[in-house]
Structure 1
């Protein structure tokens, strides 16, 4: 599990490590913030943000599902917070256990109040996703307290104010986020304003395309990249893909945004060496749009990018609406030489009917299927079974979220074909990916 953008010093980790989740305690927060402030050139309180996430109903979960399920839920929540912070935060950050069902996330991040609240809202969504346990499915309802540190404010004062704010959020029905008291409250950037901003973001060229490189597990060569989107908001700064599409969904703007991302990604990939593939994500709004196939194929033709080098990644969520219609749409793409990947495999309920009716070429494993393969024999057994099933169906397996060399080795040994993750490369700009492609081509 990633605990911090910087990592936790060994001497600190030994004394502070929480045996359940493997993450440090609050003393690590005090140490890290002190180090950030000492290194800061902009004053003692520059850019220190924090949030305290608390989980409700843990006692009820332990009674209904057993203590092991409760412990497993805490471990999953810690993992989700760490992965979210890795993807959404630009600066240094640290995740710590605050006791019971509470976690503290602190960041040395230059961002506005509105941006920090948006990050917290998206983190709450990530933690709220269903968690599968042996005896059922858990659905957690997190509450999050937020703070922007005052100048010269001590860490204990920050934690105390966060604690009071979290208690207040827990006591108020329907309240998920709460700001700690004692700080200035500038006018907020409302959800309606964000939606209005997004409608013009495409015309203002604020949507940036990043590329997550993908590699062969057989020989570690670069094989292509997945296109990702970020919003360079003029006031709030960088908004990640999760926040971007959540805003787009509220504004009923997902389909135009998705087409814009596809067009920019195809244009950028036109300069790649001929061996590299491009992967583009398909949204539920895409599959529900009657002219999606025609519009997408028009984009491919206009870009000049060969269809045989294009992969469309579709998640189980995108297939829930109308599986028959989705199968027909994907079959039309497949007939043009475009390949189809079933994305985030293992994250949902793994409806195996999809493997029967869809023209799939790849299974792309969710990172949750990779996290434990270096330490848990059951996780390895599940991976082995998935790979065996994929081979029987003539599918190739892509491992997502590879962050350690040991994970890469296990995935290669068990027969996965490709991988992506922070072990080799983080998402990068078009120019950086072009440079990488030239250096290995």
Structure 2
């Protein structure tokens, strides 16, 4: 695989990187070098892991649906990989574009080979989920090569081994994953074992709820938190929400899992001082479940958490199946004072019809919408357009993924209402958030 080229190639790649919102391979060089010089990372026991993800049938998509659909698919895939890595990985990571429909994810992660394979399997599942584009619904078929880097191994060597493994994965019909040369596929736990594990995880209290603080941009005061699920698997270690729900979906156990997380989050948040808000994520399986609204409202009443301080976050992915049903369910919640946020706004092609037919209160910007606003005038112009549209629709804007002061200042100037991100706080345990909420 060729990762180099002349000026024309470099300019074309720069345009492609703007489409996907991820940098090129040079960024991976810089990050790995920095990791290897960081004494804190060395003490943490991390190891450089990498995977190369290749998408099939992009040419067919461009022919059948148009080039804009192909660009949108790449943008959506980049967003899904970024979201997945943010949820699943404990250590530092970097995502880069390796040309065409190929992405590189590299992490300094203290995990077993079995866990890295599980991450790759769940990421592949996330990418295969339907993607809505203006001309239809796309389904992509990824192949993944994965590896644990050798001590001191150069990025060029890593990419060469990954490239050969990805080629092998493309040639092997039905084989989504392939370990790089010299790597042996670990036995791990089978899909059936993991599905059985998740059925008992609730009873064993392995499902933990963390809280990502949110802040008001008007005065920088704490305004609430988003509840995030983590599975502390006894053999594989921490598994994030993306993989957890993917396994639960295969086991037809999403509804009990969602109820468990919502109950645990509200029972914790009921002690928070007013007017702090709690945000809970809604999955596609939740909205497809006919009794979801009734069960959720029952949980709210049982927990004692005030419904007017509760926000349900719904992604576009959850709306693809049946928008009319989603609108009906959201209307039931809204009638009880519960607020609705359209999550990950700007991560892919947004169907603006959702803004017309759904009873929304917030637009929650995807991190891709804020990454370049402090340095790129076009990114800032897009943000201004979104905020103006939200204001016209009487919606408040929440900015996600704020990682530096320049980004925070920019979204404040553009009159976003709230923000969350690593600039102020990472996801934290319930007790830690309680101390933050009470100023202890």
Q: TM-score range by the shorter chain?
A: 0.7 to 0.9
Structure 1, 56-65 or 293-302: larger mean CA deviation: 56-65
Aligned to 2:193: 193
SS at match of 1:439: coil
Aligned to 2:111: 111
How many Å separate the matches in 1 of 2:229 and 2:399?
Answer: 21
Aligned to 2:334: 334
Q: Unaligned regions of 5+ residues in structure 1, if any?
A: 1-17
How many Å separate the matches in 2 of 1:317 and 1:131?
Answer: 8
Structure 1, 72-81 or 154-163: larger mean CA deviation: 72-81
Q: How does 1:8-407 map to 2 (within 5 A)?
A: 22-25=23-26, 27-28=29-30, 31=33, 35=37, 40=42, 47-55=47-55, 81-82=81-82, 84-95=84-95, 102-125=102-125, 141-149=141-149, 158-407=158-407
Q: Unaligned regions of 5+ residues in structure 2, if any?
A: 1-12
Structure 1, 285-294 or 295-304: larger mean CA deviation: 285-294
Once the two structures are TM-superposed, the CA of residue 366 in structure 1 deviates from its matched residue by 2.2
How many Å separate the matches in 1 of 2:377 and 2:137?
Answer: 22
Aligned residues: 421
SS at match of 1:120: helix
Cα root mean square deviation, aligned = 3.7
Q: Is the 8 A contact 1:33 1:155 kept in 2?
A: no
Once the two structures are TM-superposed, the CA of residue 301 in structure 1 deviates from its matched residue by 1.7
SS at match of 1:219: coil
Once the two structures are TM-superposed, the CA of residue 58 in structure 1 deviates from its matched residue by 7.0
Question: Residues 15-44 of structure 1, C-alpha deviation per residue, up to 9 Å, x if partnerless?
Answer: xxx96654453654774575479974699x
Relative to the length of structure 1, the TM-score reads 0.81
How many Å separate the matches in 1 of 2:271 and 2:331?
Answer: 28
Relative to the length of structure 2, the TM-score reads 0.81
Change (3 A) 1:265 1:71: closer
How many Å separate the matches in 2 of 1:375 and 1:132?
Answer: 30
SS at match of 1:394: coil
Once the two structures are TM-superposed, the CA of residue 284 in structure 1 deviates from its matched residue by 2.5
Question: Residues 49-84 of structure 1, C-alpha deviation per residue, up to 9 Å, x if partnerless?
Answer: 332334556788899999999999878766664554
